[in-house]
Chain A
């Protein structure tokens, strides 16, 4: 048995599985990764004397030297009695205090879901609606919500982030992406005089939250340090009416056989089931308002694709909403009378994704019943392109960087400051 390994061993153990009568394992198993010299050597097999139950093997341990007829002694691992802080070994997984037998599938900031939004909707038991809800769009088009000189100010913000604030010729995405988002939020904050309700909101960064839920025999968890979040003193009102919420009962979640819904989630046996909002009990701004996700990696393969970014936004918004619902209404699974609404904005510095999630139910174990609602406005360009270096042809500057070929698209893009303001 020790000689065969991998598929060969499996074939030996269960020849009937292969549907054969007399043919057993192959002479050599399938290729096993790793050169033999780099593989860990197998421990020497124990003397067969140790397999006899009830008998104490006679070893040469007392003689302090090898004796041909006696068994090789097995010593307990040496315990030096103290641990050097530099060479402390981590406790094995099975002995850690939070170890549980049931596997938990954890979603964190670096998880890229294979099926993207479809998988995120299945995990959160949600129904997708393209486009932002009318309540938000009405805020967009409301003239009293306009910022004066909006186009010019946004142009200044983009030029500042992409060109002016750094001494380099072409600032990298890690530099300009957070600057753009912070500047746009500052632009929204400048409307405090017109909308005093904005004073009831505060910006928080680097908070850690975690929440767990069951979804059709899988235990799922969203946890980890998150980016930026806008908290407010008042909750966001529900967007969809009761009828729309009841209508989601008939919606069937998309399945993606043969792929399992837990693909690309991290399997973990050491986890904490307790919910953690990320903020202490007496925090003056308890309700989550908007989450912000930035994709700041310079290289394209390191950044999330738009589909994966939207999936991450859905899952984190859902996690925050679920934690909030459990804090307000208790841990029992039920349909919420007052749905919890959380917004989310994701960007890579140029393309923006907007998301509004309404949590209608915490009964997530089954696939039927009322579903949660997700409105997604995807792939909104803030500007088409930005030339950092002037284009010079025949010693004449054709395109100068300051003006550049910016195209500010109207419409949902203008809702960015207003989505951050929210309504109320």
Chain B
């Protein structure tokens, strides 16, 4: 309001009577200028000509995503925070923003990704180190197999030096799954706690990736399943819940049953998927 009056006053200096104009705007103190022109403020029906002043500016929508890297690497990559803004530059989700600067470590969610096309079978990898990841609630593990290193989501009791198995093979008997191994859901016994589940083979894990809060800090729970149809009818004993089901799964998925060629998992939100 005062600014508008001031700008109007400055703009209308040329219209004041010659006595005031002769003194010039530089000689008169500013207060006297405003007071003299305020007395002459005309009624609101008459438009006072004034210089156009821009008091607002449009949002810049040149937002390019920071995700420009096409090649996989294990070195941390610099990232830009969005602050809840979308590609137009406006806030789409409130409450996001601030926080410590983070670097993104590229996580490979497709566990069964053989290094070479020429060797397609199940393969083993060794855990090099387990460390904190600022971008997610779970810790991440650097695993190496063949000549390749990659980051994966670490399970609860994963330690440096462990050997983990990634397999796509479904046999007649259910596999005695160890913690950290990746198997198709058809190969896992009913009642296994699983995480990092993908809805179709080859899609990459999209479900149950966060850390379980019930147990030791920062790690998700055992087993990793690929959800796929089971080839052969499962033997009858698999229809029973496994006796070694540990207590209260927390935020893990549980393999409930295998029906009709599909496996049904209960997600931590009690929803079921297959």
Contacts and interface: CB of A to CB of B under 8 A. Distances in A.
A260 B168 contact: no
B170 interface: yes
A263 B146 CA distance: 7
Contacts of A30: 109-110, 113, 202-204
B57 to A, nearest CB: 25
Interface in B66-90: 67-72
Contacts of B149: 114, 263
Contacts of B67: 33-35, 38
Nearest to A262: B147
A19 B148 CA distance: 25
Nearest to B169: A19
A136 B169 CA distance: 57
A121 to B, nearest CB: 18
B202 A26 contact: yes
Contacts of A11: 201-202
Contacts of A21: 231
A39 interface: yes
Given A7-B110, A34-B70, A114-B128, A263 B147 contact: yes
A32 B149 CA distance: 17
A26 B226 CA distance: 12
A11 B201 CA distance: 9
A204 B203 CA distance: 56
Interface stretch (B17-25, B45-53, B118-126, B264-272): B118-126
Contacts of A267: 147
Interface string A112-123: 001000000000
Contacts of A8: 202
Given A7-B113, A18-B168, A258-B126, A23 B203 contact: no
Contact of B124 (A20, A38, A258): A258
A340 to B, nearest CB: 30
A252 B128 CA distance: 24
Interface residues of A, number: 37
Give the most central of A33, A260, A263: most B CB within 10 Å. A33
Contacts of B144: 114, 258-259, 263
Nearest to A21: B231
Contact of B202 (A29, A257, A263): A29
Nearest to B146: A260
A102 interface: no
A23 B248 CA distance: 34
Contact of A19 (B69, B110, B113, B168): B168
Contacts of A32: 70
B71 to A, nearest CB: 7
B65 interface: yes
Interface string A81-95: 000000000000000
Given A20-B229, A21-B231, A37-B64, A31 B204 contact: yes
B231 A259 contact: no
Give the most central of B106, B144, B198: most A CB within 10 Å. B144
B110 A35 contact: no
Contact of B69 (A25, A29, A34): A34
Nearest to A256: B126
Nearest to B171: A19
Contacts of A19: 168-170, 184, 231
Interface residues of B, number: 40
B249 interface: no
Interface string A1-28: 0000001101100100111111101111
Give the most central of A11, A18, A37, A263: most B CB within 10 Å. A18
Contact of A35 (B65, B113, B124): B65
Contacts of B71: 33
A256 B144 CA distance: 11
B250 interface: no
Contacts of A23: 200-201, 228-229
A21 B230 CA distance: 10
A26 B203 contact: yes
Interface string A30-70: 11111101111000000000000000000000000000000
Contacts of B204: 7, 29-31
A177 B70 CA distance: 39
Contacts of B231: 19-21
B72 A260 contact: no
B244 to A, nearest CB: 26
Interface in B208-264: 228-229, 231
Given A23-B228, A34-B67, A35-B68, 4 more contacts: A30-B110, A30-B202, A34-B69, A38-B65
Nearest 6 pairs of A and B residues by beta carbon: A30-B204, A26-B200, A34-B70, A38-B68, A30-B110, A7-B202
Interface of B: 64-65, 67-72, 106, 109-110, 113, 117, 120, 123-126, 128, 144-149, 163, 168-170, 184, 198-204, 228-229, 231
22 contacts: A7-B202, A8-B202, A10-B202, A18-B168, A18-B228, A19-B231, A25-B202, A30-B109, A30-B113, A30-B204, A31-B110, A31-B204, A34-B68, A114-B128, A258-B123, A258-B125, A258-B146, A259-B126, A259-B144, A259-B145, A263-B146, A265-B147
Interface of A: 7-8, 10-11, 14, 17-23, 25-35, 37-40, 114, 256-260, 262-263, 265, 267
